[in-house]
Structures are given as structure tokens and as C-alpha cells.
Amino acid sequence: MYYEINANILPQIRLVDTAVLEPPYVHRRRQPDEYILYIMKQGVLYLKEDQKEYELRQGDILLLDTDFVHEGLKASECEYFYIHFRHPQICRRDEDQEFMENLLEIRGSCLQQDSGSYKRYRDDCLWLPKFVSLGKKSGYLRVLQLIQEAMEQHRNQMENYKTACECRFMEALVTISREALSSWTVRPTHGIPSSYHRVHELLNYLNENYHREISGAGIEEEFSCNFDYLNRVFKKNIGKTIFVCLNEIRIHRAMELLATTSMKISAVGYRVGFRDDGYFCKVFKKYTGISPGQYGTMAGVRQCVGKKKETAGDR
């Protein structure tokens, strides 16, 4: 089961803290009027919700629902974070093959998008699993860090402390959602080909290293795999070759620099990974239809017009 949450709206947090349980205490029976997220730190917690039993251990994360009664099953020693929150736009979704494949499609689409745009892509929704076990992975450690920061913000009660707390919590939910989807894809029963993981790893590699010199030989060494094979698999999944995708990433970054800085064209090209000025200009025009100089001039004009409108509005 997954929960679909509007990620453009921050959750409203009432409580965020740590609980430490010791025998003979048993978690009491209740049906909350708010969602409660449990993040296990250590020990074991025995819970039942809506007739389903859970044995929560370190790395486990469980979202308790307002529609169900939950209760402890027996006493135990454990420590966990708990976050009581509400959200105006959250609903349950059943996990099935089609739903999960749609999430994978969205992830692949996001990895190819232009990050330097105000345009909203398909990231309006966040999909949070009812239960997920992250073990001791780096994602789990990051979640612990974010919840600890959220708790500190909630306690200091300085101006905007709720917003600061909610932002940390939302980032933790995003991290949990990403880790859960990645874990789902590696389950052998779901039939996700290993090539899918290679493609996404390669997309991450291009996004993180576009400013460096990247060659077929370098990619072979990085991924311990034949480049021609990787290129075929990449094109089959993404619809374009590795170096076409790399050039698109580089041109998007160049457009950002040309629009927001006074860097020379040659410096912009070098910054995004082009070592030859002429080749940079050629590729830029191929993808945008105009030269880097023309694009920079047009971006400057747009900024000036925007400032004049702001000034006129102030008057």
C-alpha cells in the first residue's frame, strides 16, 4: 500500500519526538485523528493495525492511518521517532505492477528534465509506502538526520519554526519514497531487468559529471561494461544515445549560465564540459536554433524588461 501526497503542500506537524519503550509497557490501543509516522532506531516494536501485525526493527518505517485502529501486541524494548501530522491532500493507493511501473517511468522522465526551469514537471505527487524497511542504508541514515533536525526546529520555537520543521520532514518523506521505489525495483519477483538499473545509474552519472571529460572508454571503465552494449540499452530505454543525452544536459546547464551570469561564451562552454569553443557553439545552435551569444543577449533583454515592469509596478 502507498499513500499519494501532494508534494506542493507541506504537512502540518503537531508532534515530532523520540519514544523509548521498556517492559512492562505495551503500546496502547487507539485510532488517531492524524497520521503518525514511526521510524525505528533500535530494538523491536510489536504492533497491529487493521488486523495486520508488524514486527518493527531498526530501519523499519511505518505510517499509521487515521482510518484504522492500532495497538501493541506485547511488551518490548525499543526506541523510535514518531511524527504526528496532517495533510489536506493524501490518499491511499494499492501497490500493483502498473502503479509501480508508472512510478519508474516518472523517475526516468525526471532524470532527463531541465533542472533550470520554473516549469513544474511530474513531481507534484509524492508516493509514500505504508511500510518499508531501509535497513542501515545511507538513505535511512539521512532520514534519521532530517528527523533529528526537524525535532530541533520544532523545539526551538523561533519565528517560522513550524515551516522549518515541516521542510525537513518533507525532505525525509521524499528520501523514504525514493529509497522504497529503488528497493522495489531490485526484487526478482517484479521482473525489472538489470539493464533498467544500469540506465538509471548512467543517467545519474551524466547529471553529476557532465562538466568533466566523458568518453566511451571512461564509461566502460566506470560501469565495467561494454560501451556499445550500454549505448544500445540506453537508447532502447530512453529513446536517445548516451552522448545525445549528455549534450542535452550540457546545453541546459549552458543556458542557465548564459541567462544568469556574465561569463564569456568560451568559459561557459568549458564549464559545462566542452573543451572546444567552435564545437560548443555548433552543438548549442543545433539544440536551441540560435548561437550562445544570441541566447545570452535575448536572456539579458528579458531580464531588463522584467526589472522595468517591477519598477513601474512600484511606482
Full DSSP string of 21-63: E-TT--PPPB--SSEEEEEEEEEEEEEEETTEEEEEETTEEEE
State the chain's mean pLDDT as an integer.
87
pLDDT (tens digit, 9 = 90+) per residue, 245-261? 999 999 999 998 998 88
The DSSP result for 181-206, as a single string, is HHHHHT-GGGT--HHHHHHHHHHHHH
**Distance between CA atoms of 313 and 315, rounded to whole angstroms?**
5
Q: Do 130 and 26 fall within a single domain?
A: yes
pLDDT at site 308: 45
pLDDT at position 315 over 50:
no
Among 191, 219, 251, residue at a domain's last position:
191
Please indicate, yes or no, whether residues 183 and 214 belong to a single structural domain of this protein.
Answer: no
For residue 232, what is the domain's CATH number?
1.10.10.60
Is the domain of 131 the same as that of 260? Answer: no
Residue type, 181: L
Pairing status of strand 125-129 against strand 12-21:
unpaired
How confident is the model at residue 119, as a pLDDT?
Answer: 63
Query: Residue 314 above 60 pLDDT?
Result: no
Q: What is the pLDDT of residue 237?
A: 79
> Considering its fold, how many domains does the chain have in total?
2
The answer to which of 89-93, 107-111, 221-225 has the lowest mean pLDDT is 107-111
In the listed set 168, 191, 214, which residue is the last one of a domain according to the structure? 191
Q: Among the listed ranges 52-56, 115-119, 133-137, 199-203, which one has the minimum average pLDDT value? A: 115-119
* Whether 116 and 231 share a structural domain: no
Same domain, 163 and 310: no
pLDDT at residue number 187: 61
Residue that wins the pLDDT comparison between 181 and 65: 65
Across the range 170-196, mean pLDDT stands at 76
What lies within 8 Å, CB to CB, of 47 at 6+ separation is: 27, 53, 54, 56, 62, 70, 71, 72, 73
Shared domain for 260 and 135, answered yes or no, is no
Whether 154 and 232 map to the same domain: the answer is no
Picking from 97-101, 120-124, 141-145, 297-301, which range would have the lowest pLDDT averaged per residue? 120-124
Res 66 pLDDT > 80: yes
DSSP state of 177: H
Is 175 in the same domain as 202?
A: no
- Region of poorest pLDDT, from 161-175, 185-199, 233-247, 287-301: 185-199
Model confidence pLDDT, tens digit, residues 92-132: 988 777 777 777 777 777 777 766 666 655 557 889 999 99
Residues 276 and 183 in one domain: no
pLDDT at residue 192, rounded to an integer: 59
Closest CA to 111 of 217, 240, 290: 240
Specify whether 89 is located in the same domain as 220: no
54 CB-near residues (< 8 Å, 6+ apart): 45, 46, 47, 48, 60, 62, 131
Of 144, 161, 191, which closes a domain?
191
Point out which residues pair with 43 in neighbouring strands. 78
Share of the chain above pLDDT 70, in %: 89
Cβ distance 16 to 83 under 8 Å?
A: yes
What band does 191 get if pLDDT is binned at 50, 70 and 90?
A: low
Position 120 scores a pLDDT of 57
CB 47 within 8 A of CB 9: no
Q: Please check whether residues 201 and 149 belong to one and the same domain.
A: no
Is pLDDT above 70 for 194?
Answer: no
CATH number for the domain harbouring residue 109: 2.60.120.280
Q: What is the mean pLDDT of residues 27-52?
A: 95
Clarify whether residues 199 and 144 are in a common domain. no
pLDDT: is 189 or 173 the higher one? 173
Structural domain range at position 283:
193-315
